[in-house]
Amino acid sequence: MILDQIRIVMIQTTHPGNIGAVARAMKNMGLKDLCLVSPKRFPDPDADARSSGATDILQAAKVVETLDEALSDCHFVVGTSARGRHIPWPITSPREMAAIAASLQPNKRMAILFGREDRGLTNDELHRCHHHVHIPTNPDFSSLNVAAAVQVIAYELRVASLEHSISPPQWGTDWDIELADAKEVELMFEHLEKTLVQVDFLDPKNPRQLMTRLRRLFLRAIPDKVEINVMRGFLTAINKTAQSSPRQSQNQHPLNDKENSDV
């Protein structure tokens, strides 16, 4: 059940009324897990009033002092933001975020962070997140009330949870091309490894983590048969070119840089 895997984390919320409105939005959409990091005033009669009866969510809310405590048992962390920050970060739409939530393994938990009313999340808090989510608002007036933002996100999670329970995503049948099987993928990795050796990018006596990292990169993409064929063709072209051109100095190996010594 997706909804039980989601934790709404509100950071240093100023107005208890907003906490109540969040509890209401959560209960409307079937979310239960609310965590409050250093709220200014909580519990508070304004929170109860604005919750319109979602007091069970407020009573069960966990109040903690630090973000570390809020995230201690979470596997995937998403930060919500009304505006872009100076360092780009992987960004998803609320709908994509809900699809990621729907694909979480059953025992994994996703935390969604909501910032202060006046200044949102700090850069440090945003840098704790795997992804950032922006609700596509009017760019000239992009900042939603925090409870309204929770409502939108919670709605997307609810829709995803309903769709997920009807028909789980079917890799390889919904996709236009059949997924490559494990053997095809392994053969591509063997070809890639040989090619990297051929062009002196990979030193077989000191391979370090290069292939592990490249495996992770390619496997994250869940490649299909055509994509694997394209890779094989590309590698064959490199093999032919490398065979017919004279060897360059081995010292050009980028992993010989001190900076990359942990690769």
Nearest to 67 by CA among 136, 4, 121, 144: 121
Phi and psi angles of residue 82, each rounded to the nearest 5 degrees, phi first: -80, -15
Decide if residue 39 touches ligand SAH (CB under 6 A).
no
Contact residue for ligand SAH among 92, 142, 198, 239 (CB under 6 A): 142
Choose the stretch contacting ligand SAH; rule: CB under 6 A; options: 68-76, 97-105, 136-144, 197-205.
136-144
Element (H, E) at 125: helix 123-126
Written as six digits, the tokens of 21 are 């409105």
Longest dimension (CA), the chain: 79
The pattern of x and - marking residues 87 through 126 that bind ligand SAH according to CB under 6 A reads ---------------------------xx-x-xxx-----
Distance of CA 61 to the CA centre of its chain: 24
Residue 14, token pair as written in the block: 């100023």
Smallest gap, in angstroms, from Cβ of residue 263 to ligand SAH? 35
Report residue 13 as tokens. 């919320």
Residue 81 binds to ligand SAH (criterion: CB under 6 A): yes
Which listed range, 139-147, 232-240, 242-250, 252-260, lies at the site for ligand SAH (CB under 6 A)? 139-147
Instruction: Name the residue with tokens 């319109």.
Output: 52
137 binds ligand SAH (CB under 6 A): yes
Q: Which residues bind ligand SAH (CB under 6 A)?
A: 80-83, 114-115, 117, 119-121, 133-135, 137, 142-144, 146, 149
